[in-house]
């Protein structure tokens, strides 16, 4: 079932532009032209995500967001504010009201789509509600420092929390030292007889011990370059010039999908959020549940 998105904005041109972009991506899109209509539609449709203009007739976006979060019928809906207001105070007010993200107009349609995917992926249980029921995941932290006990495994724990919140059952989270052989051996163990997602964090850069991509290539059957490129693109936005240096690899081992994520917690979550919407379909294909 397609994700259901409600757009509330009093600018007809903005509504139409967003509607077309989201429908092309396969979302089930509905529109509202003011705050009252937004609340009525949300209660009737129970959308997965609401895109809310802050300044619109009737209750404004902040009021609508507060009402949505207070109503048992709509409190699980994610909310992204769309507004021409860019001041820090306005963003803070929006987030306090319960918004999950905040985009300032005018915005890049491609950036909007990435934000939508990211917020939907973070919604508790959304992956498992339809096609994702029963999805499994495992996490491998690759770090000499963590393996020796000298560093805290922040990225590994963050990934477990994010995957669990997205509806995955995480049944294994382990740590290994850097290096081709240790990482390859851990991946073989984690993927043996496993049908699910295996994410690694760490060892994807240009340091002399950053050998996770080499280890991953030594054990996967087929690469999934589109996933790796999507992560690199998401990591290389304004003010973040080093995403292009990532050497991350993604690929399959039988029915398991392996994806290398960065070593930082923030970078790992950003990259996971980008690929997560495609993971259930990829796992279905690997398991032979979809015939082409």
Please state the pTM of the whole predicted model: 0.58
Residue 118: the pLDDT is 83
User: For residue 34, is it within any domain?
Assistant: yes
Total domain count for the chain?
2
User: For residue 291, is it within any domain?
Assistant: no
Residue 94: the pLDDT is 54
**pLDDT tens for residues 31-73?**
999 999 999 999 888 899 999 998 889 898 888 998 888 887 7
Same structural domain for residues 142 and 281?
yes
Same structural domain for residues 115 and 187?
no
Domain range enclosing 276 = 131-286
The last residue of one of the domains, among 123, 148, 169, is 123
**pLDDT tens for residues 114-155?**
889 888 887 655 444 444 446 899 999 999 999 999 999 999
Residue 86: the pLDDT is 55
Mean pLDDT of the chain: 86
The last residue of one of the domains, among 123, 155, 182, is 123
Q: How far apart are CA 159 and CA 200, in angstroms?
A: 9
**pLDDT tens for residues 69-105?**
888 778 889 999 887 755 455 555 555 567 888 888 7
Same structural domain for residues 105 and 37?
yes
Token reading at 119? 């917020």
Where helices occur in the chain by DSSP H, the ranges are: 12-24, 35-45, 61-70, 88-96, 109-122, 126-129, 144-148, 154-165, 180-191, 212-219, 225-234, 265-275, 279-286
Residue with tokens 């917020």: 119
- Tell me the CATH number at 76: 3.40.50.2300
The last residue of one of the domains, among 70, 102, 123, is 123
Residue 75: the pLDDT is 83
């Amino acid at each position: 079932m397609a994700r259901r998105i409600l757009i509330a904005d009093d600018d007809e041109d903005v509504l139409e532009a967003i509607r077309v972009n989201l429908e092309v991506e396969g979302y089930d899109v509905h529109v509202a032209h003011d705050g009252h209509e937004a609340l009525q539609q949300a209660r009737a449709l129970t959308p997965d995500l609401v895109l809310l203009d802050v300044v619109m007739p009737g209750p404004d976006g902040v009021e609508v967001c507060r009402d949505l979060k207070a109503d048992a019928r709509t409190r699980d809906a994610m909310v992204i504010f769309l507004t021409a207001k860019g001041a820090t105070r306005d963003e803070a007010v929006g987030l306090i009201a319960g918004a999950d993200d905040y985009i300032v107009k005018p915005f890049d349609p491609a950036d909007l789509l990435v934000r939508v995917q990211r917020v939907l992926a973070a919604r508790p249980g959304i992956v498992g509600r339809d096609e994702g029921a029963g999805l499994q995941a495992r996490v491998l932290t690759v770090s000499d420092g963590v393996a020796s006990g000298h560093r805290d495994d922040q990225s590994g724990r963050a990934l477990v929390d994010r995957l669990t919140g997205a509806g995955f059952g995480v049944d294994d989270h382990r740590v290994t030292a850097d290096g081709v052989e240790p990482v390859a051996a851990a991946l073989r163990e984690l993927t043996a007889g496993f049908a699910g997602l295996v994410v690694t964090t760490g060892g994807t850069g240009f340091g002399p011990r950053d050998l996770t991509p080499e280890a991953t290539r030594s054990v996967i059957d087929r690469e999934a370059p589109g996933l790796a490129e999507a992560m690199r693109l998401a990591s290389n936005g304004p003010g973040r010039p080093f995403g292009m240096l990532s050497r991350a690899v993604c690929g399959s081992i039988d029915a398991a999908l392996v994806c290398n994520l960065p070593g930082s917690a923030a970078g790992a979550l950003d990259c996971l959020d980008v690929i997560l919407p495609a993971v259930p379909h990829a796992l279905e294909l690997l398991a032979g549940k979809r015939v082409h």
